[in-house]
Amino acid sequence: MKTLDTALKLLKLFETEEQTLSVTEIAEAAALPKSKVSRLLADFRANGFLEQDEQTRRYRVGLAAFELGSNYIKSQPLAHAALPVLRQIVDRTGHSTTLSVMRGDLILHILAVEGPHYIDGRWRVGNRLPFHATSAGKVLLAGLMPAGFEAFVANRRLDPITPSTVTDPEVFRRQIEETRSSGVSLTRGESAPGLSAIAVPVLGRSNDTVAALGLIIPDRFFAEEETDSLIALLHEEARTLSIKCGAADYPFGSASASHTPALARSAAPV
Amino acid sequence: MKTLDTALKLLKLFETEEQTLSVTEIAEAAALPKSKVSRLLADFRANGFLEQDEQTRRYRVGLAAFELGSNYIKSQPLAHAALPVLRQIVDRTGHSTTLSVMRGDLILHILAVEGPHYIDGRWRVGNRLPFHATSAGKVLLAGLMPAGFEAFVANRRLDPITPSTVTDPEVFRRQIEETRSSGVSLTRGESAPGLSAIAVPVLGRSNDTVAALGLIIPDRFFAEEETDSLIALLHEEARTLSIKCGAADYPFGSASASHTPALARSAAPV
DNA sequence: TTTAAAGTTGCATATAATGCAACTGTTTTT
DNA sequence: AAAAACAGTTGCATTATATGCAACTTTAAA
């Protein structure tokens, strides 16, 4: 099944930032002869998975791909179960809420419900952000066991996105460890100035971290004194969701008899 | 390029309502031997376009497909240009706003910005609804020229979704004609009880209808006397968007010197 | 007008897809 | 509990299908 395999690798080039791609660009990127690429793309186009600009002949993602992709939310049990939960969190807190998963070396928002405060498009569904500059990313990394985490940090540059982005591997490592024990990460302006975020893990069947549930809060609406109750709320909802996903236990937040009941706040130093 | 072609046809089965599909179901639906289907699906899985349930072995849409699909919005010029417009409409009216296109014999919401009033999940991005029960659908049908419309009505059953759904082909035809001349469709509870909708066309390069821009309004928040100004606002924004998409002219609403300036309201009889 | 570049198509060749049937594993029936 | 039925995957020879080169067409630049 090599034909389909190379075809899908071409399609994956459209998952990146590039808006449109030409036959030549794709052929070069994939190190394949143009004739082959041309034929494959034509077939994707015929099936609606790619569209071709009439003028420039450049290809872009097609409606069939969009429609297929939007079924992910409906068929993925986690995402499906999470939608009402996110809604409720927005209702109760007034803040935009997201559900994020790992995807390669970035985090991907698979679900987002926006609150009344306007937030930059970067937080919309389908957007990707680096691990080290987001609370969701830190929660997901903390879910990897030490070995996996070390592998990540080893060959990764912690590029600064804003002046507040953590770039020191030691500080980063310590934050991840704190997140691992407290089950929460709080970041302030690390990926966009003036924007804070709180995230907690959602656990799956074998109590591994399968997603991060988080709030995005513009600083001017972020009341410091509410932090603890927001974290408690997130933990509460993440517990519900985790149990629904088959997790045996959710060891964070107050309702559980487990460890670290109230020190959650100390998790992610500003 | 027959291998890719059959492979994509399998993938398209996941665009439908079905949440998950088994190898056997797919093989039957596509009239292909199970061995072939099994191999193709395994390859889609290896590339992340499909995921397989550990227990049931059934397939569902994968994360790669989701990520690819979400790039549609970014690379499709219309959708990309429309996002800020929708945001502005929500800000100004307080109502949820959608952008919809034709997709087979259903309409598909490719963009949606939710207002403060809770609205049923059916209006979320990626959802499909029948033409005859939605204002967006009527606008899109009105954009087809008479021949195309007749072809549609001819072999189509106007199944009732609610008691208010239009099921009489003659009434339906008249509504489409009125929509064609007025450039607006207003429906009340035709696809869900207690929910009204207003939609106007967005025109493309050759002044054909490429999308429908619409509001979804729960009846209890729908102030009758605002109807005209809502329609005017939609027309105004749709004009901006149409010009951006290369339309030479936008013949609806007040700012244009064209025809039917103020009778918009008479468009879609309740 | 000439030259260059991008994209598509024809064709002989070899590679990769095919379907059958056998095999494994899981669920249902008696 | 054993047997049967069913769902899914894999081995293998056979042939259809994808392949790359080069010629060709089309669009853009000089």
CA-based nearest residue in chain A for residue B84: A121
Residues A124 and A151 in one domain: yes
pLDDT over threshold 60, residue B265: no
Mean pLDDT of chain A: 89
Structural domain containing residue A24: 2-67
Same domain, residue pair A83 and A179: yes
- Total domains present in chain A: 2
Residues B182 and B259 in one domain: yes
| CATH number for the domain harbouring residue A206 | 3.30.450.40
DSSP string, A38-90: HHHHHHHHHTTSEEE-TTT--EEE-HHHHHHHHHHHHHSHHHHHHHHHHHHHH
| pLDDT number for residue A66 | 96
- How far in angstroms lies nucleotide C23's C1' from the CA of residue B28? 22
pLDDT, position B1: 63
Same domain, B103 and B165: yes
Q: B82 and B58 in one domain?
A: no
Residues B202, A186: Cα–Cα separation, whole Å:
43
Kindly list the protein residues whose beta carbon lies within 7 Å of any strand C atom: A 1-4, 22-24, 34-35, 38-39, 41-42, 52, 57-58; B 2-3, 6, 32-33, 35-36, 39-40, 55
Out of B49, B67, B85, a domain closes at: B67
Q: Give residue B159's region: left, alpha or beta (phi > 0; psi -120 to 50).
A: beta
Domain end marker among A26, A43, A67:
A67
Quick one: pLDDT at residue B255? 58
Contact list in A for residue B87 (CB cut-off 8 A) is 118
For residues A27 and A127, membership in a common domain is answered with no
Using one digit for the tens of pLDDT, what is the confidence trace for A128-157? 899 999 999 999 999 998 888 888 888 888
Helix (H, G, I), strand (E, B) or coil at A137: helix
**Domain's final residue, options A67, A84, A112:** A67
* pLDDT value for B17: 76
Whether the pLDDT of residue B266 is over 60: the answer is: no
Q: Which of B102, B81, B46 is nearest to A67 (CA)?
A: B102
Chain D: nucleotides under 7 Å from a protein CB?
Answer: 6-11, 16-22, 28
Q: How far does the CA of residue B170 sit from the closest CA of chain A (Å)?
A: 32
As a whole number of angstroms, the distance between CA A109 and CA A116 comes to 19
A231 shares its domain with A102: yes
Per-residue pLDDT tens over the stretch B182-240: 999 999 999 999 999 999 999 998 899 999 999 999 999 999 999 999 999 999 999 99
CATH number of the domain residue B42 falls in: 1.10.10.10
Q: Percentage of chain A surpassing pLDDT 70?
A: 92
| A257 pLDDT tier (thresholds 50, 70, 90) | very low
| Nucleotides in C strand less than 7 A from protein CB | 5-10, 15-21, 27
Q: Which of A69, A76, A87 sits opposite B70 (nearest CB)?
A: A69
User: Tell me, what amino acid is at B18?
Assistant: E
**Residue A255 confidence (pLDDT):** 59
pLDDT digits (tens, 9 = 90+) for B117-144: 767 766 778 889 999 999 999 999 999 9
Considering the domain architecture, whether residues A59 and A90 belong to the same structural domain is answered as no
Q: What is the mean pLDDT of residues B150-156?
A: 85
Among chain B residues 26-45, those with CB within 7 Å of any atom of strand D: 34-35, 38-39, 41-42
Does one domain contain both A259 and A139? yes
Q: Are B88 and B62 part of one and the same domain?
A: no
Q: Are residues B179 and B126 in the same domain?
A: yes
Q: State residue A127's pLDDT score.
A: 86
Chain B nearest CA to A15, separation (Å): 5
Assess contact for A206 and A144: CB atoms under 8 A: no
Specify whether B11 is located in the same domain as B48: yes
Q: Which of these, A145, A124, A131, lies nearest to A209 by C-alpha position?
A: A145
Highest mean pLDDT of the ranges A234-238, B54-58, B72-76: A234-238
Average pLDDT over residues A58-67: 97
Helices (H), chain A: 2-12, 23-30, 34-46, 63-75, 77-93, 135-143, 146-154, 169-182, 227-244
Checking if the pLDDT of A258 tops 50, the result is no
Question: In the structure, how far is the CA atom of residue A109 from the C1' atom of nucleotide C16, in angstroms?
Answer: 38
